[in-house]
Copies of this chain bind each other. A is one copy, B any other.
Amino acid sequence: MTERLIVGICGSPRKGGAEILLRRALAEAENRGSITTKIVLLRQEKISYCSGCLECSDPVEQGSGCQVHSDSMDKIVDLLLECHGLIMATPVYLGGPTAQLKTLMDRTEPLLRYVAGPWKSAMRNKIGAGIAVGGNRGGGQEATLQALHHFFFVHDMVVVGTGPEEWPGCYLGTSAWSGIMDYRSEDLEAVRHDQVGMRAAAIIGRRVAEAVGRMFR
Contacts and interface: CB of A to CB of B under 8 A. Distances in A.
Contacts of A119: none
Residue of A103, A108, A113, A171 ringed by the most chain B CB atoms within 10 A: A171
Contact of A154 (B140, B160, B217): B140
Interface string A143-174: 10011011101111011111111111111100
Contacts of A186: 54
A167 B114 CA distance: 9
Given A99-B49, A136-B171, A93 B106 contact: yes
A140 B171 contact: yes
A117 interface: no
Q: Main secondary structure on chain A at its contact with chain B?
A: loop
Given A96-B102, A149-B149, A166-B114, A52 B91 contact: yes
Interface residues of A, number: 75
A31 interface: no
A103 to B, nearest CB: 4
Interface string A75-108: 0000000000000000101111111101101101
Contacts of A196: 137-138
B93 A153 contact: no
Interface in A10-60: 12-14, 49-54, 57
Given A50-B93, A170-B136, A171-B136, A184 B114 contact: yes
Interface of A: 12-14, 49-54, 57, 91, 93-100, 102-103, 105-106, 108-109, 113-114, 120-121, 124-125, 135-143, 146-147, 149-151, 153-156, 158-172, 175, 177, 183-184, 186, 196, 200, 211, 214-215, 217
What are the nearest 9 A-B pairs in CB distance?
A: A95-B150, A138-B175, A156-B163, A138-B170, A136-B169, A142-B142, A153-B161, A99-B103, A99-B102
Given A54-B186, A95-B150, A149-B159, 7 more contacts: A96-B150, A98-B102, A99-B99, A125-B211, A136-B170, A150-B172, A153-B161
